[in-house]
């Protein structure tokens, strides 16, 4: 399991290759990449991501450990950047490795749902009109319900 | 007791500082919020709608009725928007 919270840009392809290298007992690797999206209504100058150093790593580790305990996974990778990013820049990625694809897909989906609403990151969009914090969405909160267990 | 209080995103902007160390006798997050709100208008404004806020005690997400008697660090912030 590797969790990285970093300001520096990263190469998602290289990270994915490194992640799956040598995992001969894993038949499935699923990855997700989050990219800074330009805004249709007002061109985005840049995006700023703030985080809570210490708690961020702690929250991401907890989420990844939960995924490892729920599904048959060989490994989990989470990389999330903070600081200033331009449209098209890679913000984050997750990857999961499992003997079978269903576990790899489900775990990646779970990681993304929890990472969006439970890891302490906040996005701010800066356009020609000014800067605005991105509001959280009810649908993101609702997405967590499907993972609740008794 | 001494307590580190941290603010993130628009809460930080509204209050005007990222963190401060305060002396408090508050035993729950709600009591701390009441104490801070009574200090100055900028705090009162930031804490005016608790539904729009989240809180972490010692880096764990929790509720406003959580105990802070043994806490070292309390953080206030809006709902998270990672990913």
Please give the ipTM for the structure prediction.
Answer: 0.95
CATH assignment of the domain containing A49:
3.90.1170.40
Flag whether A140 is in a domain. no
Residues whose CB falls within 8 Å of the CB of residue A124, separated by 6 or more in sequence, listed in order: A47, A48, A49, A50, A131, A132, A133, A134, B9
In a domain, residue A81? The reply is: yes
Structure confidence at residue A11 as a pLDDT band (50, 70, 90) = very high
Q: Give the three-state DSSP class for A104.
A: helix
A141: in domain: no
pLDDT of A41 reads: 82
Spatial separation of the C-alpha atoms in residues A114 and B69, rounded to whole Å: 29
Is A85 a domain residue?
yes
Please tell me the predicted confidence (pLDDT) of residue A40: 83
In a domain, A142, yes or no: no
Which residue of B lies nearest to A135 if distances are taken between CA atoms? B81
How many contacts (CB atoms, under 8 Å) link A and B? 71
Q: Is residue A149 part of a domain?
A: no
Task: Judge whether A111 lies within some domain.
Answer: yes
What is the pLDDT confidence band of residue A150, given thresholds at 50, 70 and 90? low
Q: Would you list the DSSP string of A26-95?
A: --EEEEEEEEPPPPSSS-EEEEEEEE-TTHHHHHHHHHHHHHHHHS--SEEEEEEE-EEE-TT-EEEEEE
A136/B56 Cβ within 8 A = no
Q: What domains does chain B contain, in order, with CATH numbers?
A: 2-77 (3.10.20.30)
pLDDT in tens, B42-78: 999 999 999 999 999 999 999 999 999 999 999 999 9
Q: Token pair for residue A124?
A: 């701010």
**Tally of domains in chain A:** 1
- How far apart are the C-alpha atoms of B71 and B82, rounded to whole Å? 26
> Which of B6, B77, B81 minimises the CB distance to A134?
B81
Span A19-62, pLDDT tens digits: 999 999 999 999 999 999 988 888 999 999 999 999 999 999 99
Q: Are strands B54-57 and B73-77 parallel, antiparallel or unpaired?
A: antiparallel
Residue A57 domain flag? yes
What range does the domain containing A12 cover?
Answer: 2-135
């Amino acid at each position: 399991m590797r969790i990285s919270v970093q300001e520096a840009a990263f190469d998602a392809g290289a990270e994915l290759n490194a992640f799956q290298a040598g995992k001969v007992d894993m038949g499935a690797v699923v990855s997700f990449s989050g990219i800074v999206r330009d805004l249709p209504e007002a061109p985005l100058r840049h995006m700023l991501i703030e985080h809570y150093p210490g708690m961020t790593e702690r929250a991401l580790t907890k989420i990844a450990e939960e995924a490892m305990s729920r599904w048959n996974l060989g490994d989990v990778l989470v990389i999330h950047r903070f600081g200033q990013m331009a449209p098209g820049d890679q913000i984050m990625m997750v990857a999961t490795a499992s003997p079978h694809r269903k576990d790899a897909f489900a775990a990646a989906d779970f990681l993304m749902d929890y990472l969006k609403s439970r890891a302490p990151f906040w996005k701010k969009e800066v356009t020609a009109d000014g800067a605005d914090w991105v509001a959280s969405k009810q649908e993101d909160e609702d997405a967590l319900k499907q993972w609740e267990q008794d | 007791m001494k307590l580190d209080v941290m603010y993130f995103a628009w809460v930080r902007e509204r209050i005007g500082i990222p963190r401060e160390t305060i002396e408090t006798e508050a035993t729950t997050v709600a009591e701390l919020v009441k104490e801070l709100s009574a200090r100055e208008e900028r705090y009162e404004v930031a804490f005016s709608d608790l539904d729009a806020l989240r809180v972490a005690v010692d880096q764990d997400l929790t509720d406003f009725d959580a105990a802070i008697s043994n806490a070292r660090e309390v953080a206030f912030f809006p709902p998270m928007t990672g990913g």
